[in-house]
Structure 1
Amino acid sequence: MTHRCAVIGSPIAHSLSPILHRAAYEQLGLRDWSYESFDVTPQALPEFLASCTTQWVGLSVTAPLKSALLEHGLAEQRAKDLNAANTLVFGHPNRLYNTDVTGMRVALASHGVEKAGTAIVLGAGATARSALAALEALGVSTITVAARSVQRAHDSLDPIAAILGVDVEVVDWTSLDSLGEHPADILISTVPTVFEPSRAVQLAALTPVVFDIVYHDYPTNLSRAAQAAGALDVDGVDLLVYQAIDQVVLMTGRRPQAEPLLELCRQAVAARG
């Protein structure tokens, strides 16, 4: 019997997850496993899950479904705290997990970053909440967040900041220029934004470590600016691969090697031009 898995979200056409997970299955010798992609909105999520037969093993879940997914299974505590799950393992009940946090931590650790005190986070959605948890695990206690809506940012981030015991200051997106007054150890961009080159240079100058979670446009202007500034550049391919490895473990019980998957994904991004 084929073991079915997939990535769901909307939009989903850009996702490298099918290439990545299929390569992991091949590496592990899992011949009867398949991995697809489906465009699913929050409104369509209940119907999609109801259509999944006993062949289905698990789902990778991306925007805008990470919060909505919590209504469809038993969530681990971290996913509950973050109000964001990116992994579903089918069962009775379904099990929900957040692998973004460990994905960020391992991505940073793979570049030698295992400790920090202050950080800047761009964005305030589900991935930003995961970033707060990953940063707290590194010892970060003070985080400046730039968001398009200060109130929505507080609504999204204050509950997890209180659980984590970190101090979060939110500034309006139009106040990015003021971030120069708050130099930090790490900058994490969680927004699907292509920064203008001049803005990217400004942001890259703020910290010695720049982590841009966008991968479909790598190298982004922010990554290029970080490299030009001599900052450590951690990119979205790192996060994509390391969070997916945890998903593969949850779904198959086996762990693939990271390096071949990182190389494959970088080649796939480059081929898209």
Structure 2
Amino acid sequence: MRRECDLAIQEELIDMHRTPSSRLAMVLTSCAAAVLLAACQTPPSGDTAAQEAQTLAAQAAEFAKTSPVSVLATDEAGRGVIAYFGAPGTEQEGMRYDVQQPGGFYRVYMGRDAAGHHRVQDFYQASGTPLTSVFPVAADASLVEWDTLPLQGEVTFYRPNGQVRSVTHYQNSQLHGRDVYYNDDGSERSVFHWANDMLDGPFVAREPGTLRSVSGQAREDQIISLHATGADGAELPQDEALELLEASLMLWYQDIFN
């Protein structure tokens, strides 16, 4: 999936027949969908965390009894594993397996929500800590495919150290609403707004480790305004502004696996 995203960006950059706004929108849509190949968290500490973990394990054990797909194993917390996935950066990236994959991920079944939708959650194989928050999936979606997107609501992605990596909203398995990506220190790196998988609304992206930033407004996947400033605060040309926005998205995608 990493290679697919890279190829998509390369194709967009060399296709001079597309306008900058449409080119950027396609890049954003392609890579933002890959955001679900995301990160992990560590559970909170203390007595409250221990109680929450016990409750989660008990609930997960009950969920496993009613899972609509086969439970392959249980993890250390007693959660029912329904799929294992290959590690990023390998030929097996995102592929589904019935056994553990070193450096990969696994998925557990978490029962149904109030509307009756099946819910799942992804974890890092190495640590057993969450990759994502619990999310519902569409009735016709596969519970055991890595690229299955959340049906609706807010989904949080975590870094390996437990920090929040991003908070994304979905509607009908499409990006819809505010999408925030965070730096290691918890500051906002980028903020995008989406409507039915189209870039729609204000956006801002800051280049990590520098004072350069780009911001603007989009409507239905078209960039209607774009503004960027360099490290010295001077305004950048439009071409550089577009490159900065595309580069920020690539850094976002690459950071998913770090």
TM-score in terms of structure 2 length: 0.27
Larger Rg: 2
* TM-score normalised by the chain length of structure 1: 0.26
Higher helix fraction: Structure 1 or Structure 2? Answer: 1
> If each structure's strand is expressed as a fraction of its own residues, which one has the higher value?
2
